[in-house]
Every structure is written in structure tokens, then in C-alpha cells.
Amino acid sequence: MTDPILAPSSTIGILGGGQLGRMIAQAAASLGYRTHIYAPENDPPAAQVASKTTTAAYEDRDALARFAADCDVVTYEFENIPVEPVSFLAELLPVRPNPRVLRITQDRLNEKDFLARIGVPTTRYRGVSAFDRMAEVVAEVGRPSVLKSSRMGYDGKGQAKILEDSDLATAWRQMGASVGIVEKFVDFAYEASVIVARGLDGGMSCYVPVQNRHENHILAETIVPAPLPADGAAKAQDLARKIAEAIDLIGVLCVELFVTANGDLLVNELAPRPHNSGHWTLDACVTSQFEQLVRAICGLPLGSTERLTDCVMQNLIGDQVHQWRAILADPRAKLHLYGKAEARPGRKMGHVTRLLGN
């Protein structure tokens, strides 16, 4: 029988070359693994710390086949990769999480339908595939609501609010896609998230739920832990475990939540990879979300998710990266820069985690 555990010195292929791929590669190296980045961009952040890089389009099957031949397992750092190349790779070697997970989570309508099938609470929603159905769909869902592109949207892109006086034609143009989803607006107390890991043996481990604060639709700050009562935190973790098992996850999954004023939890989105709201685990947990991913996809035992200290993680967006001198002057601040050359507005350049003590 083949040993399911990939020993150190094996090669982990990573689809995508951004900061998440970079931090996965760093965690893999600390456990003795090599990493091979596959990305269409030249000199992506992950390539600066990886063992090897392939620069090619995701649709280039010859390049994908060569990449697969050099790897022992493949994972991905974001869910907007076309699913067809991932399915092609899965015919050649293990891909974790599997392509079905990607197919569900890269499409908002598929994702909401999946959550509904397994009995996970979400806001009211309906899919819409043509503008001439918008009025009917909005009437079913109600106003205020939000129109989102079914695919490829992130950080607020591909979204339009629908208020009582909103023009639906304008909202459809702002959404900018041929298929969308209308979601009932949630008057939440705050946004939260919980990250769960699931290994090859089906074992699972959760991190503490955290509170997330956004600015201009981009995560600005994560507060650890979230101000949930003990039963609310346990419920959030139970939801994450339920989703991970139902989707047959091998890896890590972030479950983004709305917490209502009366304490109800509504699942907003899923991300089947390390998540921005889990960056704090690098400095404040026994095992980071990135190491946990490596452990899960390589068949290793999952590490402890114990929180060593409370903390606050702040993203460094655009010119905020130039605060690095002041950040390093704080002895309890842990700075992580992503190696991006140009500090454009809205671009995540790094993050800082400030350890608060217990």
C-alpha cells in the first residue's frame, strides 16, 4: 500500500503566485518541502521564495504537464483559477483541495446552492442570468439587496447595491457580468470568519473565530478573537466543520460570516485556501494557517490551532506600506511584506500583526 504521507523534500506545486502562495512556500520550506510556483505573471511575490517557477498561461496544457511531472501534490492560492486546468492536473497527480471544491467556491450561485443543500444558513438569494428577469428577482429577494457577479468578483468588484430608489439597469451595468446573484442585504452587527483545516484522514481542527473590519470592500483589520460568546464561537466552528466535511475538503477553508444583532450567524462566502483574515496565525498560534495547509495536503498530522495571544492584524494597503519604519519600532509588531514593487491604491502590500498579550 502506498504511504499517503509525502515526506520532506517532496515538491508542492502552487497554482498562483501572489502573497498567499508566497506564505505557503515559506511554510513549506520550514518543513523541508520544495515548492514550484505556476503563474502567468513575471516575478510574482511567491516566486521570490520558491524553489522553482513556471511562467505560463493556465490554459497551456504542455506547461501544465511539465509542471505536474515536477510535483508530488498541487494546491492553489486563490479560487479564481479556471477549473479546467485544475481538473487536467488532477488526472496526473493529487490536487488538494479537489477540483469539485474549486467548482463550487469560484461561483457565488453554486456556493449558495451548496450551502442551502447542506442546511447552512445564508441570507435570502436568487440567481439571475438575464437583465429582463432583474425586476422579478429583486421583487422576490426584496430591497435593499446586493447584485453580485456570479464569478470572478473579489474585494467588492462586480457588485452593485440595490436600494429602494436604485435603477436596475444601472446596477446591472455596474455588476458587469452575464450571470449574477441577488442577495438580501444583511443588517449585521459585524463580520467574522473562522478557518478550518481538514486532513487526509478526515480529522479537522478550527481556529478561533475573528472579527473583520473592511474599508472600501477590502479587509482592513482583523481583531482576534471575535466578540462572540462561547456558544456563538462554538457554533461558528461547528458550521465550518460541517461545510468542510460536506465539501470533502483536504486543506484549509475560510468561512466568512455575518453576525446579526441578535447573534445569529449567516454564512456569506467560502474560500478554500489560506485567507487574509487568518494571517494573524503566523505570529499568534502554535501552527499557522499556511503550515496547516502544508500538513493537510501532504498527509501529515494537523498542528495545534491554539491561540498564544490576542492580537490585531492590519493590512498595509497601497502607500501604507511606507509605514514600515514606524512599525518595526514597535517591539510587539510583526511585519510581513510581500515583495511587490509598486504600491498601487487598493493593492495589498503587506500586513502587520500587533500582539496584545493575554
Residue 105 lies in a domain: no
* 308 lies in the same domain as 353: yes
* 244 lies in the same domain as 180: no
The answer to whether 125 is a known ligand-binding residue is no
Strands 159-162 and 145-149, bridge-based pairing = antiparallel
* 130 lies in the same domain as 223: no
Round to the nearest angstrom and report the end-to-end CA distance of the chain: 47
CA distances from 211 to 123, 127, 197 (A): 19, 29, 19
Cβ atoms of residues 200 and 295 within 8 Å:
no
The answer to whether 183 is a known ligand-binding residue is yes
Predicted local confidence at residue 272, as pLDDT = 98
The answer to whether 184 is a known ligand-binding residue is yes
Q: What are phi and psi of 101, to 5 degrees?
A: -60, -45
Q: Which three cell numbers stand for residue 137?
A: 428577482
Q: Crossing angle of helices 83-90/61-69, nearest 10°? A: 40
Residue 4 lies in a domain: no
The answer to whether 276 is a known ligand-binding residue is no
* 279 lies in the same domain as 343: yes
Per-residue pLDDT of the chain (358 residues; tens, 9 = 90+): 456 899 999 999 999 999 999 999 999 999 999 999 999 999 999 999 999 999 999 999 999 999 999 999 999 999 889 999 999 999 999 999 999 999 999 999 999 999 999 999 999 999 999 998 999 999 999 999 999 999 866 655 688 999 999 999 999 999 988 899 999 999 999 999 999 999 999 999 999 999 999 998 899 999 999 999 999 999 999 999 999 999 999 999 999 999 999 999 999 999 999 999 999 999 999 999 999 999 999 999 999 999 999 999 999 999 999 999 999 999 999 999 999 989 999 999 999 999 997 5
* 217 lies in the same domain as 205: yes
Residue 110 lies in a domain: no
Predicted local confidence at residue 153, as pLDDT = 61
* Domain coverage including residue 180: 124-184
* 308 lies in the same domain as 201: yes
CATH number for the domain that contains residue 89? 3.40.50.20
Residue 198 lies in a domain: yes
pTM of the model: 0.95
Q: Which three cell numbers stand for residue 236?
A: 461558528
Cα separation of 218 and 149, whole Å? 17
* 208 lies in the same domain as 274: yes
Residue 175 lies in a domain: yes
What are the E-state strand segments in the chain?
11-15, 34-39, 52-55, 73-76, 125-128, 145-149, 159-162, 180-184, 188-198, 204-206, 210-215, 218-224, 251-260, 265-271, 310-317, 333-337, 348-357
The answer to whether 303 is a known ligand-binding residue is no
* 169 lies in the same domain as 141: yes
Predicted local confidence at residue 123, as pLDDT = 96
Looking from the CA of 161 toward its CB, the CA atoms found within 13 Å total 7
Number of separate domains in the chain = 3
CATH number for the domain that contains residue 129? 3.30.1490.20
Residue 84 lies in a domain: yes
Where is the domain boundary, 75, 95, 115? Answer: 95
CATH number for the domain that contains residue 203? 3.30.470.20
* 205 lies in the same domain as 333: yes
The answer to whether 346 is a known ligand-binding residue is no
The answer to whether 108 is a known ligand-binding residue is yes
The answer to whether 214 is a known ligand-binding residue is yes
